[in-house]
Each structure stands twice: as structure tokens, then as C-alpha cells.
Amino acid sequence: MDYTRYYTPVLVQIAAYAGFALGGNWVFIGIASLPLLGLIDSVLPNDMRPREMKRGLMADLPVWLATILAVGLYFMAAFWVRSSEAITPWQYAGAILSLAWMSVVPLVPASHELYHQRGKLRRFIGTYSQVCYLDCTREIAHVTGHHLDVATEHDGDTARRGVSLYGFTGKAVIQSTRDAWRMESDSLEKQGYGRWSIQHRIWKALLAQLVMQSLVFLIGGWTAVAVVLAGMVGARFWVESFNYFQHYGLTRVPGGAIARRHVWNHLKPLSRVMGFEITNHADHHTDSFAAFHELRPDRQWIPMPSVFVCFFSALIPPLWHNAVIKPALKRWDNELATPEERELARAQNRAAGWPDWFDEKPAGAWAAS
């Protein structure tokens, strides 16, 4: 059962393919999976069970399939454009939304799993499958930036307290892109190359995008290119929005040890499965080479809702702040944070105009987390 459950995202992708094959309003199948999965996940109990799986093809196959199918869906959309007649604006909207959502889940966690692992082919596919959300340099800032700076003021993926999803997402897109390009330029300069020499990975990323769009054009013409690019742009912003739920408001002293408590975990069954355990990632930040099925749920966690519930609630900032994240952060500050982290949290609360809830005596659980 542990091996087969990770074919759930693959089945969702196949349903999206079927939607494009059927045409008409069926193209909404992909995006329709979002509220459906969210509804089911929200009523299921938390899944705290470690997976009993071994490394190898059986474990990796759904990850590879989810990655390849996500890229292929864009070509499927191009065929849909070519073979359909009288496509309505409503149907174009459904196609774009379905492409964007399928590029977020399951592609982001699947590509993330590949580029974090050892092996040239894995890392190549994981890197360039990100062409689907216009970010083939993403793992530079993610691996050498986010993983070192998580939960600090230097981390663009960690939203400060009081920031809404809308205020976070656009800035995160800009910062992650700028950080990746700067880090790559710095690395090239240390090797004796020019900061924007042909060795820079931005040129490879642009080439990958050119190849992708050329193939789409050959299949479905300029209309298909427009649909595909719209889906990719939507996916690019949507991708950043999910970092918002994974790290919101958490604090850590820069340079201090990274512990399991420095991330939020969403341990509902579909959150774990659809995200290839990316929502169960406490161990991922202490060992980034651990395979997705090797991550163990953190039993000292502050419980969080389904990641789908977090997304929908964040669309209404007062609901997200008051019903979801403030209660969680109050517990985190008083049960898991170190004294130094509490001071950082207090400063953020003050800046956000939030209550000072630090009168409670710390439980001291942080020492073992």
C-alpha cells in the first residue's frame, strides 16, 4: 500500500489528460481536482505513520511519471488547441488553470525530489522539467539559499508575520529569481568566468524554454503558445504561494542550527501523497538528500490543517491569520521556540500589530526538537 498510494497524483494527471482529449468543458478536470482533493483531505485524520519503503525503482517510478506527465500535458494542450473548433473563452480559462495547477501539484514536489537527489539524470530532469513554470534555475536559490537561510530574515521563502499571500507571492517570485541568478554569477566569478558568461545557467534555461515553445508552436501554432505561456505564468506565481504555508512566521537566529521545528508540516493523507511528502518535510531540512519516503512525521509538531485548506484560507487574509496561523504561531512561540527565537518573534508581532502573547512560560520542548 505504501508504494501504490503515490500513484494518486499520477492518476489525477491522467484525468487531466483525459479532459484535454475529450475537449469542451472537460478541460476543467485538472483544476477541478483542487477543490475536490481539498475537501476530501480536510475531513481525513492526520497520517502520522512512517512509510515502509526501500529506495529503488518501485519507490521512484511515480515520481518520474509525475514529472514527465506534467511536461507532456503542455503538448497535450497544444494538440487540444489544434484539434478543437470554436473554443470558448471559458474553455481557454479552464485549460490555463488546469495547466497551472498540474504544474504546481504534483510537478513541484516531483521535480523537487529529483533535483535534491544524487545522480546526473535525476538532477537534469528535475531541473529542466521546471520549464513548466518558467524557472529552470529554481533549485539554485532553493538548495544554496533557502536550505541555509530557512526561517530567518534572509530567506525569501519565509513570509514575515502579518504579510498576506498577495503581498508575499509577487515579491517571492522576484527575490527567488534574483537570488538564483546572483548566486550563479557569484559562483562563475569565483571560477574565473564573467558574471554573465555563456556558462551561466540562465542561458540554458532560456534555451529550454525556446525548445519547449517551439515544439508547442509546431503542434498548435501561436494560439497554443499563448495558452501554454499563460499556464506557465500562472504556475510560476502559484508555486511561490505554497512556500507561504510551509514556513510562515517561523523564526531562527541566522547561522543557528536548523531543527525540525523550523518548518510547518501538513500531515493529512492527501497533502502527504499529492506532495510526495513535501508537506512532511521536517527531516528534509536536516537531511536534504533523504528520499521522500524516508521522511518521518514530526510528532512534536504544532498541528496544521491540510495544505489545501491553508491555501483556500489564505485567499482571505483575515481568515488565514486569525483562524489558522496565529493560534499555531502562539503555540510555537511558547512551546518550541528558543529564547532568542522568541525575541525575534516578538519583534515581528510588534511590527505586524499582532498581540504580545509571550507571557506564557516556555514549555522548553525546543531543547529536544
pLDDT digits (tens, 9 = 90+) for 54-68: 999 999 999 999 999
Q: What pLDDT band is residue 367 in, cutting at 50, 70 and 90? A: very low
CB atoms within 10 A of CB 89: 7
The answer, yes or no, to whether residue 369 has pLDDT greater than 60, is no
- In the chain, the percentage of residues whose pLDDT exceeds 90 is 92
The pLDDT tens digits of the residues spanning 215-254 come to: 999 999 999 999 999 999 999 999 998 889 999 999 999 9
3-class secondary structure per residue, 298-348: CCCCCCCCCHHHHHHHHCCHHHHHHHHHHHHHHHHHHHCCCHHHHHHHHHH
**Which strand (E) or helix (H) includes residue 199?**
none
The pLDDT tens digits of the residues spanning 97-126 come to: 999 999 999 999 999 999 998 899 999 999
Across the range 189-217, mean pLDDT stands at: 97
Nearest CA-CA partner of 324 in 335, 334, 311, 336 = 311
Across the range 77-102, mean pLDDT stands at: 97
Report the alpha-carbon angle 258-246-308, nearest 5.
Answer: 155
Residues whose CB is less than 8 angstroms from the CB of residue 233 and which lie 6 or more positions away in sequence, other chains included: 134
Nearest CA-CA partner of 6 in 44, 57, 40, 45 = 57
Helix ranges, the chain (H) = 8-22, 29-43, 57-83, 89-104, 107-115, 120-128, 138-141, 147-149, 165-190, 201-247, 269-274, 307-314, 317-319, 326-335, 339-352
What pLDDT sits at residue 118? 85
C-beta contacts of 349-354 below 8 A and 24+ residues apart: 349/161, 351/160, 351/161, 351/162, 352/160, 352/161, 352/162, 352/163, 353/162, 354/161, 354/162, 354/326
Q: How far apart are CA 117 and CA 184, in angstroms?
A: 20
Q: What pLDDT band is residue 1 in, cutting at 50, 70 and 90? A: confident
Q: Is residue 172 within 8 Å of 157, Cβ to Cβ?
A: yes
Position of cell 485567499? Answer: 315
What pLDDT sits at residue 281? 87
CB atoms within 10 A of CB 317: 15
Q: Is residue 345 within 8 Å of 156, Cβ to Cβ?
A: no
Q: What pLDDT band is residue 361 in, cutting at 50, 70 and 90? A: low
Across the range 71-89, mean pLDDT stands at: 97
The pLDDT tens digits of the residues spanning 263-309 come to: 999 999 999 999 999 999 899 998 888 999 999 999 999 999 999 99
Residues whose CB is less than 8 angstroms from the CB of residue 69 and which lie 6 or more positions away in sequence, other chains included: 10, 13, 14, 17
What pLDDT sits at residue 359? 67
Q: How far apart are CA 265 and CA 280, in angstroms?
A: 5
What pLDDT sits at residue 125? 97
Residues whose CB is less than 8 angstroms from the CB of residue 356 and which lie 6 or more positions away in sequence, other chains included: 346, 349, 350
Beta-carbon-side half-sphere exposure of residue 142 (alpha carbons within 13 Å):
21
The answer, yes or no, to whether residue 189 has pLDDT greater than 60, is yes
The rounded Cα 179 to chain-centroid distance in angstroms is 17
